[in-house]
Amino acid sequence: MHQNAYDVFMPGHRSTSVVFASPHSGRDYGWAFLRRSALDEHTIRSSEDAFVDMLFADAPAQGAPLLVARAPRAFVDFNRGPEELDPALIRGLKRGGHNPRVSSGLGVIPRVVAGGREIYRGKLTLAEAQARLQEHWFPYHARLQALLNESNALFGQSLLVDCHSMPHEAVQSLCRTGTVKPEIVVGDRFGAAAAGEMVDRIEAAFRNAGFKVGRNTPFAGAYTAQAYGRPSRRQHVVQIEIDRSLYMNEAEIRPNGNFDNLRRLLGGIIAEIAEIGRPADEMPLAAE
């Protein structure tokens, strides 16, 4: 029924408690959606974490599942809560308490793409919004929780690595002047979403590969980290943000000349992250 909501790439042998997910790289822009939009087919992609699923495609080879949303972020945002509906977009919806993400047009059914550009010419009905959640959001999150439950059952813990990319201009504008601008931002909601040791090891994996790494600034993690990060229950979430200029031409939305090199570097980092969730008896034997 919901086979089009997501793709999940499973390893031949699940050897780690780590689960990788890419909620914002979906690029199934349906004809009916594009027809409703005031934006052209290129501009509407500006909020997409383009190609992130391809960058993390080595995860199954390291024994970890990779969950990828198919619907684009402009259609439904899987890193928002289902209650984060925008009364400025959805007809008949009563205004609730102030939510800065919703107010800025970036609720679970976004009103704008990057740069504050309006997606629609008019409003949507509440039934349309609820249908998107039922057909896409809820199936994706049910599968995500099932993958984490499986890790907890197999390994006694789970570690979700939520994979994203960030516009280069956002890194430049949101970081303080005079500070080193990170190429990678590791987010754990300031310690609330994951055990510090895990976050330290993930950060070290990126640093050791030569990246400039920040933690929680300017992105600490949104709905997924908040909803699923339960370290006291041995369910951990770490959000990864990659500067898009490292691997793509942002204006043209296509891979740049460094794409293959970055994917190769990430392959090594994915292997190191997988080790975090690997039981001692599954780890490679040390040389004598």
State the average pLDDT over residues 270-284.
82
Q: Determine the Cα–Cα distance for residues 78 and 141; give it in Å rounded to an integer.
A: 8
Residue 54 lies in a domain: yes
pLDDT confidence of residue 12: 95
Query: Is the pLDDT reported for residue 39 higher than 70?
Result: yes
Number of domains making up the chain: 1
- The identity of residue 217, as a single letter, is T
pLDDT confidence of residue 1: 33
Phi/psi at 21 (nearest 5 deg)?
-140, 145
CATH number at residue 99: 3.40.630.40
Contact criterion met (CB below 8 Å) for 24 and 162: no
pLDDT confidence of residue 266: 98
**Predicted TM-score (pTM) above 0.85:** yes
Percent of the chain at pLDDT above 90?
Answer: 82
Domain housing 227: 6-282
pLDDT confidence of residue 285: 39
Give the range among 76-80, 171-175, 235-239 with minimum mean pLDDT.
171-175
Query: Is the pLDDT reported for residue 141 higher than 90?
Result: yes
Q: Which residue has the higher pLDDT, 286 or 82?
A: 82
Query: Is the pLDDT reported for residue 283 higher than 80?
Result: no
Residue 151 lies in a domain: yes
pLDDT of 95-127, one tens digit each? 777 788 898 899 999 999 988 999 999 999 999
Query: Is the pLDDT reported for residue 281 higher than 60?
Result: no
Q: Determine the Cα–Cα distance for residues 3 and 33; give it in Å rounded to an integer.
A: 19
pLDDT of 176-204, one tens digit each? 656 678 999 999 999 999 999 999 999 99
Residue 145 lies in a domain: yes
Q: Which residue has the higher pLDDT, 172 or 218?
A: 218
Separation of CA 19 from chain center: 12
pLDDT of 202-227, one tens digit each? 999 999 999 999 999 888 889 999 99
Q: Which residue has the higher pLDDT, 99 or 281?
A: 99
Q: Determine the Cα–Cα distance for residues 104 and 82; give it in Å rounded to an integer.
A: 16
State the average pLDDT over residues 145-158.
97
N residues, the chain: 288
State the average pLDDT over residues 241-250.
97
pLDDT confidence of residue 286: 39
Q: Which residue has the higher pLDDT, 217 or 229?
A: 229
Across all residues in the chain, what is the average pLDDT? 92
**CB-neighbour burial class of residue 253 (10 A; exposed 0-12, middle 13-18, buried 19+):** middle
User: Which structure tokens are listed for 77?
Assistant: 């945002």
Of 71-75, 90-94, 174-178, where does the model show the most confidence?
71-75
Q: Determine the Cα–Cα distance for residues 78 and 91; give it in Å rounded to an integer.
A: 21
The 10 Å CB-count burial string (b at 16+, else e) for 272-284 is: bbbbbbbeeeeee
Q: Determine the Cα–Cα distance for residues 228 and 161; give it in Å rounded to an integer.
A: 11
